[in-house]
Amino acid sequence: MALNLDLVGKEWDGEGRRWTSADAILYALGVGAGSEDPLAELSFTTENSHDVTQQVLPTFAVMIGGAGSMPALGDFDISQVLHAEQSITLHGVLPVEGATVTRSRVAGFYDKGRHAIAATESTITDKDSGEVLAEVSSGIFIRGEGGFGGDRGASVTWQRPQTEPDHVVTYRTRPDQALLYRLSGDRNPLHSDPWLAGKAGFDRPILHGLCTFGFTGRALLHTVCGSDPASFGSMSARFASPVLPGEELSVAIWDEGETCRFQTTVAGRVVLDHGTFTKKAGSPGAAGRRP
């Protein structure tokens, strides 16, 4: 097995994704919208409620870039791959339906000793208008593929604040959360197939990291953006520990004005770390309702 190190710096264009109103709703349900109170988030979970205009959760940006044209990063086994980090930057409110094209690149392969991280970046553009909708970057942790003598990557500067968080939002995931979330497009069998989960060292299928990312994004949207997607700027985090469907997520948020730091835990165990969030310039910055 080996990494395709020659891909570093290479760029490619590709079809992104075409989505409908129903796809946006399915994603919202997949990250827990409406699960605690079906009436609380109707603008994200319905398209025909009286006096309610449908909106799209900002973290849906992770689903509209498409990955079909990405070259193979190497010939490693899929069971050795875990999501390491994710960031999104929104350039505007995501449309309820649409189609995209993408411009992507491999930013680097980072040598972590025994293991490796592959970093990719994409710019997602509306296919019809040509306007940039979002920028997305990901880090993929690949077990057993380190030791090739490469750069270790940037050092960590994020620190958990010493003060108590300004907000703590708790959401319980469903036992079938991974089965619901995968319908939005991430069909990695690690999250549904007990055999593959066991091969990867887990007792049972784990929740998608991007599902935890989406739950956390909802907490940020409702708590520091007043539930207004137009105020949602950027969000980045590292995946620190797997989540099992059915576990309760607790999102701690330190509101620092235009930016926030956040950390998501399960029973005190950190599952999403190094969280940084920025509000759009001109957003109210006041705490919103928690559905």
Catalytic residue among 83, 167, 191, 274: 191
- Residue 16 or residue 67, greater confidence: 16
pLDDT tens for residues 33-57? Answer: 999 999 999 999 999 999 999 999 9
The amino acid sitting at 277 is F
Highest mean pLDDT among 90-104, 108-122, 148-162 belongs to 90-104
Taking CA atoms, 86 is separated from 83, 119, 176, 237, in Å, by 8, 10, 23, 6
Task: Give the whole-angstrom CA distance, residue 79 versus residue 76.
Answer: 8
Q: What is the pLDDT of residue 34?
A: 97
Question: pLDDT-based confidence at 284, cuts 50/70/90?
Answer: low
Domain membership of residue 288 (yes or no) is no
Whole-model pTM: value is 0.92
Q: Is 51 a catalytic residue?
A: no
Q: What is the pLDDT of residue 68?
A: 56
Domain limits for position 58: 5-279
List CB contacts of 283: < 8 A, sequence separation 6 or more: 225, 226, 228, 230, 231, 233
Question: pLDDT-based confidence at 67, cuts 50/70/90?
Answer: low
Domain membership of residue 206 (yes or no) is yes
Residue 281 pLDDT > 90? no
Domain membership of residue 291 (yes or no) is no
Domain membership of residue 60 (yes or no) is yes
Q: Is 83 a catalytic residue?
A: no
CATH code of the domain containing 177: 3.10.129.10
- Average pLDDT (137-150) is 88
Domain membership of residue 269 (yes or no) is yes
pLDDT tens for residues 213-253? Answer: 999 999 999 999 999 999 999 999 999 999 999 999 999 99
Highest mean pLDDT among 70-84, 190-204, 274-288 belongs to 190-204
Domain membership of residue 153 (yes or no) is yes
Number of H helices, E strands in the chain: 5, 10
Catalytic residue among 126, 186, 255, 273: 186
Residue 108 pLDDT > 50? yes
Residue 286 pLDDT > 50? no
Domain membership of residue 289 (yes or no) is no
Domain membership of residue 239 (yes or no) is yes
Domain count, the chain: 1
Task: Give the whole-angstrom CA distance, residue 45 versus residue 41.
Answer: 6
Q: What is the pLDDT of residue 278?
A: 98
Tokens of 225: 């953006």
Q: What is the pLDDT of residue 291?
A: 43
Burial state string for 254-272 with b = 16 or more CB within 10 A and e = fewer than 16: bbeeeebbbbbbbeeebbb
Task: Spell out where 112-174 has E strands.
Answer: 116-126, 132-142, 167-172
- Residue 19 or residue 289, greater confidence: 19
